[in-house]
């Protein structure tokens, strides 16, 4: 008895076992916490539509495009998720939606395999692959139901065969009508295009009369035109012509699959099976189905967001193609060695796919322990409790969450409704504003923005510290709030960005902010340990001894390390500076400059040059004129003492050219000091250059 006969004889037992495993994985996956950037604005739109009668086709939440039209709003999905959340709460409602849609798809796919009378090995290959593909999109999004529509479309295609029947066309048109009103029906059109090609080829073969071709044309036109029967009368296919390819360079979902998923074994399995499917379709002369399959294969390769929707259809077509093969005869005619190799290969594919599903589900359970930090719950709670209102400049990812939590009292700058509300130009404005203080200040002035919510981190601290009248107000677990009116921590906000600005004469004001922090900040706020380190340093009688004691501790974060490192620089403890900065988790440009400066003061010219070289090869989002001038000054001191081993002349020449555009001249004879890393005033000598802070000391 061959392995093929063994599996067929125990078909019911094997399929039952694999089904139980797959459903268990789906149950675990459904328990994944909400991590979708778009789920919350979809939810808020649905709630406001059902409870307050607000139109889902009009923006009510941004101050940048208020009242503007939203194209292609998935209002049915938004209403459905709103109903579930209203009944069961956010977490449970989202989990029920994920689980229900996944099980419906799984059952439909199971029904499709029964429809095409699949053999046992197809169940073994296909069911785990469907599960893993669903895991790749285990977020609350409208396409979770669209995946099921895709399987229904394939089932209609299979049932229709290669003949035109009125009932089949009616069912296809009905599915497209529902699909278009729910979400994008583009995948359905690609599937049915293959059907019409197959029918056309069959009619050519049979030399069909003109009446048959007329029916074929009218049927295709009907299916095409029902796509217009939706609110706003915007056809799905119109998006192909209005979507800017620049979005693909900006949004991660459009990253090529072979880049984003290169470490996922399932992708290689899918690629291998796509080759097999292509060969089978050519052999079976199913050219219409082949065209559709190749389109889906191309989209799965070129866009990471299409792996799941295209992959599900590709697996359906693979199962269809395999169902047309007489495996019993094929296995009987294959030599024993070949049969064993086929069996081993199929077992390996099954094992890799199933294991991938188990690992992914386990990773999601681990992710659940950290994912609550993904959203600024503490900041929105603080804003709500203190009745703080105003326009918010926010980072792109959190826009939807802020809409759900703070609307209508607060409006936001941007969220995930890119290309349906916000044009590409607005996203570019956001990108520049999130990098450069000059552009952010311009947006603050233009829209009268009073609040800013950005992730914790030195980059954003520095970005906001360079603004006028906007200062740190609250620091949560992962995000910080900045505001113009009565901010709580203006001095500590500056110190987080520029720890070299510490001055012992400020200690009374700093202690006042520390007292406020103890009263309003959660115990986990990363600002509290930084405050504690500043306070401890201020109170230490022997500053040098205190700094030496800190290097022995391994629990400090980057804020603390930068602060004590710069204080060590001021105290002349250059070896300690280098040792402290070694412990940084994430280096910013100033960290390289400070370390290079310490090495130069110690006469370690090669290490200083290597440090500056390491900084030069990083693509920084922004380097201020001061950073460039400091880099040039340090390089000049190195050059006077040794020949360059790492730095290239072209880099130094370009640096000099950039500096000369801003400054009339740079004094490179004097080493930068401790205060060189503390900006004191804003100078903008060239209107084409971003507003920057230039230190008041001679460089």
| Residue 650, token pair as written in the block | 């072209």
Domain span holding position 196:
3-30+89-367
Per the CB < 8 A criterion, the answer to whether 360 and 32 are in contact is no
Number of alpha helices (DSSP H) and beta strands (DSSP E) in the chain: 33, 7
DSSP conformation letters of 253-277 = GGS-HHHHTTT-HHHHHHHHHHHHH
pLDDT over 70 (residue 684) = no
**Burial of 291 from C-beta contacts in 10 A (0-12 / 13-18 / 19+):** middle
Lowest mean pLDDT across 31-45, 53-67, 474-488: 31-45
Assigned token pair, 239: 């998006």
Report the run of H or E that residue 543 belongs to, with start and end. Answer: helix 543-550
* Torsion 207-211-217-220 (CA) sign: negative
- pLDDT band at residue 689, thresholds of 50, 70 and 90? very low
Task: Give every CB contact of residue 22 below 8 A, 6+ residues apart in sequence.
Answer: 106, 127, 128, 130, 131, 357
Query: Is it the case that residue 240 has pLDDT exceeding 80?
Result: no
pTM across the whole model? 0.88
User: Could you tell me which residues are beta bridge partners of residue 394?
Assistant: 453
Residue 244 has pLDDT above 70, yes or no: yes
Q: Is the pLDDT of residue 224 over 70?
A: yes
Mean pLDDT to the nearest integer, 252-263: 85
Q: Is residue 581 part of a domain?
A: no
Mean pLDDT of 53-76: 94
How many other β-carbons are positioned within 10 Å of the β-carbon of residue 534? 26
Is residue 13 in a domain?
yes
**pLDDT tens-digit profile of 388-410?**
999 999 999 899 999 999 999 99
- The per-residue pLDDT for 256 is 87
Report yes or no on 308 lying in a domain.
yes
Q: Report the mean per-residue pLDDT for the chain.
A: 90
Please indicate, yes or no, if residue 393 is contained in any of the structural domains: no
- What proportion of the chain, given as a percentage, has pLDDT over 70? 95
500 to 473, 577, 591: CA distances (angstroms) = 21, 13, 12
Residue 339 is predicted with a pLDDT of 87
Q: Which of 204-218, 238-252, 372-386 has the lowest mean pLDDT?
A: 238-252
Q: Is residue 23 part of a domain?
A: yes
Report how far Cα 144 is from the mean position of its chain's Cα atoms. 18
pLDDT, one tens digit per residue, over 530-581 is 999 999 999 998 988 888 888 777 667 899 999 999 999 999 999 999 999 9
d(CA 290, CA 324): 14
CA-CA distance, 542 to 352, in Å (whole number)? Answer: 61
> Alpha helices, DSSP H only, in 399-526?
399-406, 424-433, 437-447, 458-465, 490-497, 507-520
Provide mean pLDDT across the span 46-72. Answer: 95
Question: Percent of the chain beyond pLDDT 90?
Answer: 70
pLDDT in tens, 370-389: 877 889 999 999 999 999 99
Domain-ending residue, one of 367, 393, 412: 367
Which of 313-317, 343-347, 508-512 is predicted with the least confidence, judged by mean pLDDT?
343-347
CA angle 104, 349, 337 (to 5 degrees): 135
CA distances from 576 to 19, 352, 566, 571, 583 (A): 61, 50, 10, 10, 11
Helix pair angle (143-160, 90-115), 10° resolution: 10
Query: Could you give the CA distance from residue 46 to residue 53 in angstroms, rounded to a whole number?
Result: 10
**Domain-embedded: residue 57:** no
Reply yes or no on whether the pLDDT at 117 is more than 60.
yes
Q: Are strands 479-483 and 390-394 parallel, antiparallel or unpaired?
A: unpaired
For position 425, what pLDDT does the model report? 94
Most confident option among 162-166, 317-321, 582-586: 317-321
Residue 262 has pLDDT above 80, yes or no: yes
Question: And the tokens for 281?
Answer: 């379709």
- Output 428 or 689, whichever has higher pLDDT: 428
- Residue located via tokens 């130009």: 425
CA distances from 190 to 105, 196, 214 (A): 19, 10, 21
CA angle 657, 660, 661 (to 5 degrees): 90
pLDDT at 697 over 50: no
Spatial CB neighbours of 586, under 8 Å, sequence gap ≥ 6: 458, 558
Bridge partners of 80, per DSSP, are none
- Residue 664: predicted pLDDT: 55
% helix, strand, coil for the chain, step of 5: 65, 5, 30
Q: Summarize pLDDT for 154-191 with one digit per residue, the tens.
A: 999 999 988 889 999 999 999 999 999 998 899 999 99
What integer pLDDT is reported at residue 625 of this predicted model? 79
The band of 670, judged by pLDDT with boundaries at 50, 70 and 90, is confident
Of the three residues 367, 402, 428, the one that is the final residue of a domain is: 367
Q: How confident is the model at residue 690 (pLDDT cuts 50, 70, 90)?
A: very low
DSSP string, 278-324: HHHHHHHT-HHHHHHHHHHHHHHHH-GGGHHHHHHHHHHHHHHHHHT
Region 331-338: mean pLDDT is: 85
Mean pLDDT value across residues 654-665: 69
- Residue 622: its pLDDT value, please? 76
Query: Would you state the pLDDT for residue 661?
Result: 56
Residue finishing a domain among 346, 367, 388? 367
Query: 214 to each of 110, 124, 295, how far by Cα in Å?
Result: 36, 43, 27
368 in helix, strand or coil? coil
The answer as to whether 156 is a domain residue is yes
Q: Is the pLDDT of residue 693 over 50?
A: no
Report how many domains make up the chain: 2
The residue ranking higher by pLDDT, 231 or 296, is: 296
**151 inside domain:** yes
Cα 229 from Cα 242, distance rounded (Å): 19
């Amino acid at each position: 008895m061959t392995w093929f006969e063994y599996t067929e004889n125990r078909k019911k037992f094997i399929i039952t076992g694999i089904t139980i495993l797959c459903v268990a994985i789906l149950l675990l996956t459904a328990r994944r916490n909400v991590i979708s950037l778009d789920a919350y604005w979809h939810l808020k739109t649905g709630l406001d539509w059902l409870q307050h009668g607000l139109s889902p086709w009009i923006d009510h939440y941004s101050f940048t495009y208020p009242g503007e039209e939203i194209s292609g709003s998935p209002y049915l999905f938004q209403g459905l998720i709103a109903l579930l959340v209203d009944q069961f709460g956010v977490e449970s409602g989202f989990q029920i939606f994920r689980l229900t849609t996944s099980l419906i798809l799984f059952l439909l796919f199971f029904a499709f395999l029964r429809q095409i009378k699949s053999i046992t090995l197809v169940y073994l290959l296909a069911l785990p692959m469907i599960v893993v593909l669903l895991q790749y999109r285990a977020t609350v999004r409208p396409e979770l139901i669209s995946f099921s529509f895709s399987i229904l479309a394939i089932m209609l295609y299979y049932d229709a065969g290669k003949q035109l029947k009125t009932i089949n066309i009616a069912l296809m048109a009905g599915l497209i009508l529902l699909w278009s009103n729910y979400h994008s029906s583009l995948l359905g059109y690609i599937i049915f295009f293959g059907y019409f090609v197959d029918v056309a080829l069959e009619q050519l073969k049979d030399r069909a009369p003109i009446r048959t071709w007329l029916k074929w044309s009218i049927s295709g036109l009907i299916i095409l035109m029902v796509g217009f029967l939706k609110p706003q009368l915007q056809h799905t296919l119109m998006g192909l012509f209005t979507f800017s390819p620049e979005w693909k360079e900006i949004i991660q979902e459009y990253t090529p699959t072979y880049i984003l998923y290169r470490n996922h074994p399932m992708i290689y399995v899918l690629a291998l099976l796509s080759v097999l499917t292509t060969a089978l379709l050519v052999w079976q002369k199913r050219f219409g189905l082949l065209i559709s399959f190749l389109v889906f294969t191309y989209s799965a390769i070129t866009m990471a967001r299409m792996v799941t929707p295209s992959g599900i259809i590709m697996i359906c077509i693979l199962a269809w193609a395999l169902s047309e093969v007489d495996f019993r005869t094929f296995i009987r005619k294959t030599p024993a060695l070949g049969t064993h190799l086929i069996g081993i290969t199929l077992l390996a594919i099954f094992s890799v796919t199933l294991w991938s599903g188990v690992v992914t589900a386990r990773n999601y359970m681990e992710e659940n322990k950290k994912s609550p930090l993904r959203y600024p719950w503490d900041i929105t709670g603080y804003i709500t409790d203190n009745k703080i209102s105003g326009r918010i400049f926010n980072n792109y990812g959190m826009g939807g969450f802020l809409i759900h939590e703070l609307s209508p009292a607060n409006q936001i700058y941007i969220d995930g409704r890119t290309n349906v509300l916000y044009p590409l130009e607005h996203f570019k404005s956001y990108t520049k504003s999130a990098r450069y203080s000059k552009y952010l200040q311009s947006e603050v002035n233009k829209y009268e923005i009073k609040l800013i919510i950005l992730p914790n981190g030195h980059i954003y601290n520095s970005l906001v510290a360079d603004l006028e009248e906007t200062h740190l107000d609250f620091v949560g677990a992962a995000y910080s709030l900045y505001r113009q009116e009565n901010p709580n921590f203006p001095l500590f906000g500056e110190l987080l960005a520029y720890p070299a600005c510490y001055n012992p004469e400020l200690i009374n004001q700093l202690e006042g902010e520390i007292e406020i922090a103890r009263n309003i900040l959660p115990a986990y706020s990363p600002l509290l340990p930084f405050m504690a380190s500043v306070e401890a340093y201020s109170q230490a009688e022997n500053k040098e001894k205190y700094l030496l004691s800190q290097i022995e501790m391994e629990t400090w974060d980057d804020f603390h390390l930068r602060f004590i490192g710069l204080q060590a620089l001021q105290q002349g403890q250059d070896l300690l500076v280098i040792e402290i900065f070694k412990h940084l988790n994430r280096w910013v440009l100033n960290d390289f400059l400070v370390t290079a400066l310490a090495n130069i003061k110690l006469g370690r010219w090669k290490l200083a040059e290597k440090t500056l070289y390491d900084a030069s090869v990083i693509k920084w989002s922004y380097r201020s004129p001061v950073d460039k001038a400091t880099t040039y000054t340090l390089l000049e001191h190195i050059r006077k003492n040794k020949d360059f081993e790492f730095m290239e002349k072209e880099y130094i020449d370009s640096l000099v050219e950039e500096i000369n555009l801003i400054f009339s001249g740079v004094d490179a004879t004097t080493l930068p000091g401790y205060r060189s890393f503390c900006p004191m005033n804003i100078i903008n000598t060239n209107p084409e250059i971003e507003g920057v802070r230039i230190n008041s000391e001679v460089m």
